[in-house]
Amino acid sequence: MTSWNGLNTAYFTEDKDDHIYNALVKSIVEHQLLPGSKLPEEALAQAFSVSRTGIRRVLQRLAAVQLVTLLPKRGAHVTTPDADESRDVFSTRKILECANLPQVIAHCQPPHLAALKTLVEEEKRAHEERNGAAAIRLSAAFHVQLQAISGNKVLTEAVSQLTLRSSLAIAAWGAPWQQGCRCTDHDDLLDLLRKRDVQGLADSMAHHFEHIVASLRFEPHHGETPDFMQLFAGHAAQSHKEPG
């Protein structure tokens, strides 16, 4: 199954509860469910028309990939990465993505450049229209598809998974309108890729991540419980009915 950022990932499989799992992943990484938000089993079960047992299974899967935190007697919350973890996520991405750029350039062909240009244009449009969900998704897709050019599926999968945690960090600590990356940075990266400037591309990519971290404001806040019936309207029809 295709993930929210346009690639097939381990987060998006085809098990019984996947439509619920994928809906929650999408809502978390697109900042509809913010870090710290409570995820009560009963409310989610009603929203998706499934049992609390089914919701519990999904929440456990989300906890396994660090998008949800499960606390005894306190239930499930969208994970709030702390300052150190948030910095480490972007530091790890910088290491991986910069190190792989020589292979990206070596394998880059005109169709790759055209596909990335389309993503950048769509991302600009999302920012102009203040479409936060699309801006986040397209920003992640740019990075993942850039790395995919190299043909290194393991690294591309790692970057794809890290984009989910990056989105959590930005949701937790970013400015009110900080959706994904600055698309002007992506324009510059694409231009350097077109020129096959390995060093320039690596330097710009490193600065790109450093700027994101510098823009985060590490001040605590508390998430609120959203209206799950409204947020997940339409998903209940796809849910598998099962005994409670």
Q: Using only the alpha carbons of the chain, give its radius of gyration.
A: 18
pLDDT of residue 130: 87
pLDDT of residue 141: 94
CATH classification code of 17-80+221-232: 1.10.10.10
Largest pairwise CA distance in the chain: 59
pLDDT of residue 243: 43
Average pLDDT per 10 consecutive residues for the chain, totaling 244 residues: 51 67 92 93 93 95 94 92 95 98 98 97 92 89 97 96 92 69 85 97 96 86 64 64 46
Burial class of residue 223 (count of CB atoms within 10 Å of its CB; 0-12, 13-18, 19+): middle
Measure the CA–CA gap between 180 and 46, rounded to whole angstroms. 31
Measure the CA–CA gap between 68 and 37, rounded to whole angstroms. 10
- With tokens 């959203």, the residue in question is 226
Measure the CA–CA gap between 22 and 3, rounded to whole angstroms. 8
pLDDT of residue 79: 95
pLDDT of residue 156: 96
Element (H, E) at 148: helix 132-148
Burial class of residue 102 (count of CB atoms within 10 Å of its CB; 0-12, 13-18, 19+): middle
Give which of 182, 132, 137 is closest to 160, Cα–Cα.
137
- For 105-117, letters b (16+ CB in 10 Å) and e give beebeeebeebbe
**Domain 83-215 class?**
mainly alpha
pLDDT of residue 11: 46
Give which of 91, 28, 37, 89 is closest to 61, Cα–Cα.
28
pLDDT of residue 238: 57
Residue ranges of the domains in the chain? 17-80+221-232, 83-215
Measure the CA–CA gap between 183 and 135, rounded to whole angstroms. 9
What's the predicted TM-score (pTM) here? Answer: 0.80
pLDDT of residue 236: 61
Measure the CA–CA gap between 88 and 4, rounded to whole angstroms. 23
Are 155 and 147 spatial neighbours (Cβ–Cβ below 8 Å)? yes
